[in-house]
Structure 1
Amino acid sequence: MDASPSPVLNIADVELQPRPPAFAAKGEAAQRYDARMGFIGPRVGAQKLGYNITAVSPGKRAFPRHNHRVNEEMFFVLEGSGEVRIGDRTWPLRAGDIVACPPGGPETAHQIVNTGTTELKYLAVSTRQYPEICDYPDSGKYGILAEWPGPDGKPQPFRVVGRHGESVDYWEGE
């Protein structure tokens, strides 16, 4: 019997869940950020692309404005309306719109905001190349992300978030 996942999954069968507590917005950020997500990639056997459905409440955003130095993202708006900010420009979004977010510097930093009155739901597709470096130009932070298979075959994540200009010397503590 074949134990591999089916390469077909109907969008109606994707259950959206709140973020795990470790990734939930905290403090004042919780007033601006919230999303439910349904991860698709592992369920259909994806290896080099990540897919998820993201649902954002009115007035909220799923993630801080950020850019990827390595990975490319694409968003397809399924329901609702909002706007996407890329670099220093903003475009309106509605169901059926496709958004391309290629890798690059702060000029490619992007963020989707639900400016509508109903839930904004979109399909997110991304390459999954590691290591990845993300910049968060609104807060002056960066993130370094990596992932590799652990002994049990499950992904083992590595994430470091810091602020530009605040680092320790390579030899400190040696």
Structure 2
Amino acid sequence: MDKHIIRTRDLDWSALQSGRHPFNPDSEMKMARLGDQTGMKRVLTNLVRLPPGKESFIAHSHAVEEEFIFVLEGAGQVMLDGEAHQVGPGDFIGFPTDGVVHGLRNTGTADLLYLAAGERARVEVAEMPSIGKTAVFRPGRITMFGDDGVEELTPEEWGARSRLP
């Protein structure tokens, strides 16, 4: 089989580890890292399963990287600056760097399956207003700024907080 082709219909979702956003207790998802598996370096591309009632990440906005979601199966709700919009199969949601805070929740009774992709800039700044933090992502370091001070994390520490027990 060629490394450039991933037969997603053959994915063993039970073998993929569940994860969450480290600052959102309502977050839970399984991700198949399609771009990484094919050797892509500039575009982060994941196939994501979001269980009923769960959220993807914490509501956030980007200063540098654009991203998108394309819904394949299920029913969900995307929040855009606090306004709820129902989404379903065939819906494309683009997130430019316009400061709009966004998040996704599964509102259906089955998994919400979607393709998510975004840029991989050397530095990214993400605002997370619900927890009053700004994160600066750069190679080998994540710096969290908030009213409670500054916290430095490695990608491994971020990842450890993202794993579900």
The TM-score bracket by the shorter chain reads 0.7 to 0.9
Instruction: Kindly indicate whether residue 3 of structure 2 is the aligned counterpart of residue 6 of structure 1.
Output: yes
| Unaligned ranges ≥5, structure 2 | 152-165
Structure showing greater relative contact order (alpha-carbon pairs closer than 8 Å, 6 or more residues apart): 2
- For residues 92 and 115 of structure 1, the distance between their equivalents in structure 2, rounded to whole angstroms, comes to 9
Q: Residue 125 of structure 1 is aligned with which of 114, 117, 121?
A: 117
Structure 1: which 5+ residue stretches go unaligned? 148-156, 169-174
Name the counterpart of 1:161: 144
Aligned length: 148
How far, CA to CA, are the matches of 1:10 and 1:100 in structure 2?
Answer: 25
Residue 71 (structure 2) pairs with residue 80 (structure 1): no
Letter in 2 for 1:45: G
Q: Calculate the TM-score normalised by the size of structure 2.
A: 0.80
CA distance, structure 2, for counterparts of residue 71 and residue 14 of structure 1: 28
Give the aligned partner of residue 57 of structure 2: 63
The separation in 2 between residues aligned to 1:145 and 1:94, in whole angstroms, is: 31
Letter of the structure 2 residue corresponding to residue 135 of structure 1: E
**CA–CA distance in structure 2, aligned partners of residues 142 and 15 of structure 1:** 35
1:104-115 aligned at under 5 Å gives the runs: 104-105=98-99, 108-115=100-107
Matching residue of 2:39: 45
Percent of aligned positions that are identical? 26
**By how many angstroms is 1:161 displaced?**
2.0
Larger radius of gyration: 1
CA RMSD after TM alignment: 2.2
Deviation at 1:167, TM superposition (A): 4.8
Deviation at 1:138, TM superposition (A): 1.3
Runs of 4+ in 1 over 4 A off after TM superposition: 23-26
Q: Find the counterpart in structure 2 of residue 142 from structure 1.
A: 134
Secondary structure, aligned partner of 2:78: strand
